[in-house]
Structure 1
């Protein structure tokens, strides 16, 4: 394996309250299965097939996705397609649960999108860019935003993603929906994170018919 870095888009997901007492091991297995299924389907929707990403790295209650820099999968797809589609799937999954099972089996995620140089050895991926993404994902502030949100997913993006993509509103990305919220320190440098709580248009049954409704 080369000791030189390669550039990747870095996407991290983590399940909310995965270590709470009501999350038994069988439920954790179920939620992991659903997480991988939804992420895989959202990737397919976004045009990210096996040629364009590295193998998943499992994080126990989350997953690390590294997307290769190819023209067929611009970084905008992560924000304009992957995150909205995953949010839609989460809403549909949670609504389908019996109300008395939503606390135990409901699935809500923290997500981070960053980009930078990464390394891989026989044990997995590493590098300062991944450290930044992990630190953003694990902040108490992002956990608090998800806890207070009605949406089942909250997203933090790095400065590189915000200033390179979000600010310019490429691909219909709404810049005013991303707000500077918290900073993390990695290797002595402060990194600003911009937080977005997605809205999704979902079909909600009403009197035997489906109507479209925003879950925000």
Structure 2
């Protein structure tokens, strides 16, 4: 048994993406889509000013977890009005240029306390993020659209950021259609299809 170590919370903006339908792919296809996913995500983050030193990327097999450090120059709005639209546009461009390499993503955003040890990252706020990301209604929304990306945000992100109408964020594009259960609580998620913003 390992020696107990102090558990200390660290606040992060939590952003996760997952490739649609990856379990139906061959391992060769998974490798191709993983490489493309990382390339596009990295490009979207860098174009939005989120440098490597201000984030941690954690591999999730057919997805990626991004933990953005609490830096004044990187408010939560940066993910909503820059990273998401940029990632959407890059996915559209990939589909146009190399349709055989194209794929679609579900994305989730939350913020809260995370923890880490020698085995990796953990904590309730990560659980909330992944419950939102994997919610059946989010998967259903992606199936119902031709858009390459669907975003779900936690009720905390909606309450503290989206509903206030910060630059480039329209709360009318988010719908409260997801409910997840964590630690005996029922939490709401708000879904946006970013392509709707360009219609």
TM bucket (normalised to shorter chain) is: over 0.9
Counterpart of 1:12 (choices 12, 16, 32) is 16
Query: SS at 1:84's partner residue?
Result: helix
Counterpart of 2:164 (choices 161, 168, 172) is 168
Taking only aligned residues, the RMSD between alpha carbons, in angstroms, comes to 1.5
CA deviation profile, 1:39-71 (whole Å, cap 9, x unmatched): 0000011110012112x1111000000001100
TM-score normalised by structure 1 residue count = 0.87
What does residue 159 of structure 1 align with?
155
Query: SS at 1:194's partner residue?
Result: strand
Query: SS at 1:29's partner residue?
Result: helix
Query: SS at 1:3's partner residue?
Result: coil
C-alpha separation between the residues in 2 aligned to 1:53 and 1:121?
17
Unmatched 5+ stretches in structure 2: none
Q: Is the 1:84–1:200 Cα contact (8 Å) retained in structure 2?
A: no
Unmatched 5+ stretches in structure 1: 202-213
Deviation at 1:97, TM superposition (A): 2.7
Q: Is the 1:13–1:112 Cα contact (8 Å) retained in structure 2?
A: yes
What does residue 97 of structure 2 align with?
96
Q: Is the 1:53–1:66 Cα contact (8 Å) retained in structure 2?
A: yes
C-alpha separation between the residues in 2 aligned to 1:9 and 1:69?
7
* Count of matched residue positions in the alignment of Structure 1 and Structure 2: 195
Deviation at 1:200, TM superposition (A): 7.5
TM-score normalised by structure 2 residue count = 0.94
C-alpha separation between the residues in 2 aligned to 1:58 and 1:84?
22
